[in-house]
Amino acid sequence: MYIIGFSGSPRLNGICSRLMQSALDGALQQGADVKRYDLIKLDIKHCLGCCQCIFDDPQLPVGRCPLKDDMAAVLEDYMLADGYIFACPVYHGTVTALMKKFIERKFGLSWRAPEAAGKLPESRVPADFKKKAIMIATGNSPDEFVEVMGDPCFEVMSSDWMVEQVETVGKMYVGGVETLSPTDTEDRLKKSFDAGSHLVEAIRKDL
């Protein structure tokens, strides 16, 4: 089993990055192979909206994008995974620009006939909801503000999974990150570790 984590935080050692690593550690303890992508380290160009990736070559698992950067290799790896961990801090009420750019460039995982204007694209390789995912969002606002801080991030991070047929099996919002005590921090890290373990367990049930 292969689990990939994607961090939309520009801070490599911040609480969001630590929470994602803890979730990956939980998956690793359950026997999964894991890999981490920090989007801040990758060369991912802005989507130009040309739609070439969804209109051409429907037989390919990943559509061809005219932009030359790291995204093609990342998507090839993405397709190999059985599960995903997306982690992102809340910036101005939604995901970071890093995470949004990555999600926009995942468009090539779907295909749409040019004559099917106005219709949703289809997944090039539908996962039949056997692939699973969890999401982690962090913010300065306390936990009780999850509906206005965490939920918009969860909606964006999971936006492609309906088409890809990936099932979300966990959401975790960690608020008040600037004032978390060491004890509270350890508690949240334990919860993210357990979420990573649960992700592997959920995937195994559908194997």
- What lies within 8 Å, CB to CB, of 190 at 6+ separation is 22
* Structural domain harbouring 171: 2-205
The number of folded domains in the chain is 1
Q: How far is the C-alpha of 190 from the C-alpha of 62, rounded, in Å?
A: 36
**What is the residue-level pLDDT of the chain in tens, covering all 207 positions?**
999 999 999 999 999 999 999 999 999 999 999 999 999 999 999 999 998 999 888 899 999 999 999 999 999 999 999 999 999 999 999 999 999 999 999 999 999 987 877 788 899 999 999 999 999 999 999 999 899 899 999 999 999 999 999 999 999 999 999 999 999 999 999 999 999 999 999 999 987
Q: How far is the C-alpha of 133 from the C-alpha of 127, rounded, in Å?
A: 12
Kindly report the CATH number assigned to the domain that includes residue 105.
3.40.50.360
**pTM (2 decimals)?**
0.95
Nearest Cα to Cα of residue 13 among 32, 34, 40, 35? 40
Q: How far is the C-alpha of 140 from the C-alpha of 131, rounded, in Å?
A: 31
